[in-house]
Structure 1
């Protein structure tokens, strides 16, 4: 790790079926509030390393590994976005955080919106990063095809084994959305996902969890409706490029306009230039935009 990287503490929060592992980067500023950060479908809490760095102690960042992922892989089903949302509520309650900002990336954005809708007393505002806005599947496209197309190599790796950690590192370094930004911190994030013993290392992600959650991101009506029913201010940030660094990202101005977001709820919606679906979290522009909103200096602070 680089010396400037803030090392998180690890704690646990009780949820039905076990304890979630939670990474905690503590605040150093007097009276600083806490924020909860929700990762994507095959990620883990260490995905928020650059947001933690840029917060620089101005808020406590709490980033759980969702059930079925990372150090929470032994917390079993049932899975699903509503279950994750209730887990986030249990975390906020267990740590006595009170109404708190919640930020979510990718699938975590749908979970974040659902957490606010299902537990409005616990969430003060939300930041939705390249997710939470749903569109119907194109005619003739099956759920399995859409899930494979969206997740790509991230889904394929769940059935793979790796002879050693170097091989897993090489797998990720070939990913088109990762290779240009590779760093010690990204390496640590990807290595956190690895379990087992050589020569049969594998991803910690539970396949059933990923399949269940992914299907709901695509098709669940409550998840799709959550961004339109927010009980608190929200901000949507989206990446210019896609999951494989392709020129077209998940969203653009036209698609956002088609979504018909209520401007009284999603009070700001903006493109973060020169980012892809992943680098919007660890690149300078994206992480800084997230931090500004979490600190109450962005438009969603309202």
Structure 2
């Protein structure tokens, strides 16, 4: 199902929100730090109209890239609630992937009366940083490949998709393709990636505003789980064993999650990206959302 794009008035302009209509309750979904709302397409397919799914392009990304700062988790949280207000929704289940999970927990703490339940996907729980940590250096290390991509240009859409097809975390998303084309990313993933492109060939580039990525990234790094511990709504954390580059150590493991104050469930065989974009991951996320709206 192809979503419609809704324009929502927020501070400083309009937020672009992808809306997949359905017969059930409203679910809001927040994407990761350099992603966009179409990252939720495969989950929407699995939900199959059982809910109305709203997935904004967060401020500073894709069709919302022209919205000004300030950026940060609290601004994104207020944008999500402004979306609920504009569409006349009193309360919604809120899902979030990666940075979007931190946006989700912040929203639930700032606006608890508006959120029914949270579904956090490989994010939302920050680990305390050692005293004296250079957060700018840490951010550069964690988001180095992403920052590099923000400064790159691509000759055409195919070149951008080829760049992502070579990404180590996307390897398991590739299908067999044809003899002529070779392995291909699924159409849902290609649509999400293509939505990030702006400019004209041969100078296409990512839509993400570097300052938005920097500010939001620092906010995530310094959010040491405080919001999660202040939650007054039910929540579940789905987590991936492998990381952003498909490395064996992901963001979380059983040890660091031992004291998490919410239920945590491993999505077996997934990495930080495939837990949302892959078939098994999208199935698990849609299942958690379906369970949340049924309670």
With structure 2 as the length reference, what TM-score do the two structures score? 0.92
CA RMSD of aligned residues (A): 1.6
Aligned to 1:261: 260
Q: How does 1:100-119 map to 2 (within 5 A)?
A: 100-119=92-111
1:217 paired to 2:220: yes
Question: How far apart are residue 160 of structure 1 and its match?
Answer: 1.2
- Conserved 8 A contact 1:172-1:179: no
Aligned to 2:191: 188
Aligned to 2:58: 66
Aligned partner (choices 264, 278, 287) of residue 283 of structure 1: 278
1:204 paired to 2:207: yes
1:133-176 deviation per Cα after TM superposition (whole angstroms, max 9, x unaligned): 11123466522232233224222111111222222112111101
- Conserved 8 A contact 1:81-1:213: yes
Aligned to 1:95: 87
1:193-243 deviation per Cα after TM superposition (whole angstroms, max 9, x unaligned): 00011222111000000000000100146xx31111111100011011100
Question: How far apart are residue 8 of structure 1 and its match?
Answer: 0.9
Structure 1 residues not aligned, in runs of 5+: 1-5
- Conserved 8 A contact 1:242-1:250: yes
Question: How far apart are residue 297 of structure 1 and its match?
Answer: 5.8
1:48 paired to 2:43: no
In structure 2, C-alpha distance between the alignment counterparts of 1:285 and 1:240, rounded to whole Å: 13
- Conserved 8 A contact 2:126-2:223: no
Structure 2 residues not aligned, in runs of 5+: 174-184
Aligned partner (choices 16, 21, 28) of residue 11 of structure 2: 16
Question: How far apart are residue 187 of structure 1 and its match?
Answer: 1.1
Q: How does 1:233-248 map to 2 (within 5 A)?
A: 233-248=234-249
Q: Which runs of 4+ in 1 moved over 4 A?
A: 138-141
Aligned length: 284
1:17-73 deviation per Cα after TM superposition (whole angstroms, max 9, x unaligned): 11110111111x4xx111000000000000001100000111111100000001000
With structure 1 as the length reference, what TM-score do the two structures score? 0.90
Question: How far apart are residue 294 of structure 1 and its match?
Answer: 1.5
Secondary structure in structure 1 of the residue aligned to 2:5: strand
Question: How far apart are residue 186 of structure 1 and its match?
Answer: 1.0
Aligned to 1:126: 118
In structure 2, C-alpha distance between the alignment counterparts of 1:139 and 1:230, rounded to whole Å: 26
Aligned to 1:85: 77
1:26 paired to 2:21: yes
Aligned to 2:178: none
